[in-house]
Structures are given as C-alpha cells and as structure tokens.
Amino acid sequence: MVKVPTGVTLVVGLGISGRAICRHLERQRVPYMVADTRAVPPGMDDFHAAHPGVVIHCGPLTGLDLAEVEEVVVSPGVDPQTPGLAELSGRVREATGEPLLVGEIALFVRSARAPIAAITGSNAKSTVTTLVGEMAIEAGRRVAVGGNLGTPALDLLADEPDADFYVLELSSFQLETTPRLGAETVAFLNLSEDHLDRHGGMAGYRAAKLGIFRGARHGVVNADDANTWPEARLPAQDSFTTRPPQAGEWGIGRYHGSDWLMHGESPLMPAADVRLAGRHNQANALAALAMGHRLELPLEAMCRVLRRFPGLPHRGELVAEAGGVRWINDSKGTNVGATLAAIAGLGPTLEGKLILLAGGVGKGADFTPLADPLGRFGREAILFGLDAERLERALRGRLPVTVVEELPAAMIQAAEIAEPGDCVLLSPACASLDQFANYQERGEVFRRWVRRHLAEVGA
C-alpha cells in the first residue's frame, strides 16, 4: 500500500486533462502526486522531463492509502466509481466543506477571475461553443474558448489571464465532478442516449448534465426537449425552439414571407442567411444568440458570424455542392441523437431527398428512431461497417437500403443515385473504430473522395 502524504493532492489520470491539472497545481504551488490505472501510461518520459521529482503511482488505485490526502482531482476519463475512488463518495475536505473528490473544472472555478459561459448537451455543444466564442471576438471582446473542446480549461487561465470571459464546452464527465460551476450563462442544448455505461442509464446521464445549472445566473434551454430544463427555475432563463417563438423565446417565425430567426416578435435575420445548413443548426444559432445577448454582445456582430461560419470540421461541414447536390460531412455524428438531429434538420430544407451514409460501431444503440424521418426525407440509406446489418433491420421497409463493406463503396453508390436538389449526408450514428482510427479520419476519407470525384467528372 502506497501512502499519499499528508497535505498532498492526488491527480488521477495522465491524459491531456490530467497533465493540465498538474501544470495548474504547479503554478499554484500545490504539492501533488499522480496516479494512473495503466501499468505504463503513454508519454511517461515526457512527463518526467516536464515535472521532475513528481511521484507517479501506476496500477490499481486500491493500492493507494488516501487517509491523509488533501484532495483528489480526477481527469474526465476516470470514472469516480473506479475501485479506490468510490470509497471517497460523500467525503468532504475539513478546511472547505467541499467534496474530497473533484475534477478539473472545480479547480478552474476557484481560480477564474472572469465570468464563465458554459455549454453542454449530447450534440452540437462544440458548434455552439465555437459560435459564442466567434461572436465575442467579432464584438471586440477578449475571450478564451476551451474545455472539452480544444484547450483544456485550466490552461486557459495561464494562456488568457486577462480574458473578459471564458467560453467552455463541458461534458457530463466534467460536470459530474464539478460541485458548483457558478457560471454567468449556461446552455443545455439537447439530450439523447450516450455514455450510458458510465452513468448507469439516462437518469444518471441527465443528472450529470444538469450539474451545469448549479449556481448559474442565466440559463438557455431547449423548449422542444424537456430533459434540458433545470429542476428549479434559474434567476434568469431563456428557451429556444425551431417553432414560431412565444413572447421572450428565441425561435423561427415568418416575416415578410420567409423564415427568420426571431426573439419573440422581433425579427433578427433571415434563416436562409445562416451559413450552417439545416433547422438543427438554426436552433444552434438561436442558442448562441441567447447566450450572446446575456453577455451583451451586439446583435450585428453576432449575425455577421452566423452569415459566415461554415461549421466545424466533421460536424455538418459542407464539403462541396455540384450539379445541385450537396455533400455534407457529419462524421462527428457518432450516436443516434446526432444523426437524428442532422436528418430532421436538413430534410425539411431540401428540394430533393436525403441520401444517408451510416454505419460503424453502434455501441448497442437503438437505431429505430432513424426510421421515421428517413421514411419522410430519405432517398436511400447506404450502410457500411460492423453494425450495418443492425441498421438495415431498423430501417427495413421505410426506404431503399443498400449495404456495402466500406465507406468508399457507399460514396460510389451515392454518386450514382443522387439527383439535383439532393444531399449526400455522412452522419454515421456510430463510432468509427471498426474501420478508422477516429471520426476525423473517417471524415477525411469522405472529403478526399468527394473532391476527387468532382474533379474527375469536371464539376
């Protein structure tokens, strides 16, 4: 049994976030040691070089004596119920009364000297986080953007010490170890099945996400998804919808014969001017506008961003449009909820039909919710990868389905059947690890094939 010395903080996990925690503790002159459940964590030599003299315990956490530990800070990838940590549940630090076990965002909250804007949800949180950050930059504000997206939150404190505010994407893993976020404005965008193995089911997953509201002064929720609403109303609260808005809501209504983004009865900008395609992305734009409004960003600056922002790589990314056919890379759509949002968002906006490319590692998900919207909007579903047959069974009878071995074969089939007005959408509803290193590689294969194909046909 290895004893953690009295007054020493234990950092658990030597991934990207764990190393950011270590850098932060050193800046704060807090004594710490590190533990990792892996026998040989990657990058050990680099860590030793950057942090000479820091003690590292490798292997089961049950081999640690935590009786005198000052605090335990876990990386997001480490389950708080891991043997050796689960026993800390409910214990508090005598000096502060805070939980003994926390995560990186709890440390961030203690040290941040500027307001926090935070975004969570099963899908689209990266898009909305980036939009809010871009809107702030366009408005001339000093902003630091990170968290679950890009730069670890704790590194933002060192990189951007004079920020006017911080914009953070936060996952359920980060929120479950954050006792109180205390943000100026937060958004809970949507909720669909994901990470159920970690949280023990949808109730536990939602409970972790709801942690974003603790101490929040303003919240943005999805009027079309009751699961995103806090258990108790916040001091100030806005909602967004893809329907015509009620008084005070952010929504999409008719103005001068076309659809506009609206705040109550006030028209903001034509929905067609939002460069991101689809109703779901117009909803994302509304959520960002609601948060930006709370942060006192000028409407003109926010709308300029919406007119030019092309989307994040692999998330509703328009790769090309030729011959009246759009090719959209949504490889980051790794769960059913993300793909459902893409189909429901794009389908009603098309003059033609949707050709869906989907498949991979389904993680045991239920694919049947995809059947109804594909029945309405789909020309064909072209399926590939490990769980293609499970997908095919879920969609059978609702639209034509073709099963192929790999993504390139799916794109060849899509090019053969696409008609003007159609959209070819890569939104797999599955993880990528059966055939690709990650979703980014899958999206790159799609991008390269589309551009090469269009060059060959002279489009």
Identify the CA nearest to 194 among candidates 271, 107, 103, 123: 123
Annotation says 123 is catalytic: no
Annotation says 218 is catalytic: no
Catalytic residue among 3, 51, 123, 195: 195
Residue in this structure with the two tokens 């692999």, named with its chain if needed: 314
Residue in this structure with the two tokens 């490319």, named with its chain if needed: 357
The β-bridge partners of 167 are 117, 145
At residue 147's C-alpha, the angle toward residues 96 and 283, to 5°, is 120
Strand 317-322 to 325-329 pairing: antiparallel
Q: Where are the alpha helices (DSSP H) in 261-333?
A: 279-294, 299-308
Give the whole-angstrom CA distance, residue 219 versus residue 39: 43
Q: Which tokens in the block code for residue 398? A: 């609702």
Identify the CA nearest to 399 among candidates 441, 362, 330, 347: 347
Identify the CA nearest to 128 among candidates 228, 16, 260: 228
Q: Is 168 helix (H, G, I), strand (E, B) or coil?
A: strand
Q: Which tokens in the block code for residue 421? A: 């007005």
Give the whole-angstrom CA distance, residue 293 versus residue 298: 7
- Do the Cβ atoms of 325 and 166 come closer than 8 Å? no
The amino acid at residue 24 is: H
Identify the CA nearest to 151 among candidates 174, 134, 168, 163: 168
Strand stretches in 133-249, DSSP E: 143-147, 165-169, 185-188, 219-222, 237-240
Q: Where are the alpha helices (DSSP H) in 61-171?
A: 104-111, 125-138, 153-159
Give the whole-angstrom CA distance, residue 395 versus residue 422: 20
Catalytic residue among 3, 51, 123, 125: 125
Annotation says 195 is catalytic: yes
- Do the Cβ atoms of 108 and 157 come closer than 8 Å? yes
Q: Where are the alpha helices (DSSP H) in 254-406?
A: 279-294, 299-308, 336-346, 371-377, 388-395
Catalytic residue among 3, 51, 57, 148: 148
Active site residues: 125, 148, 195
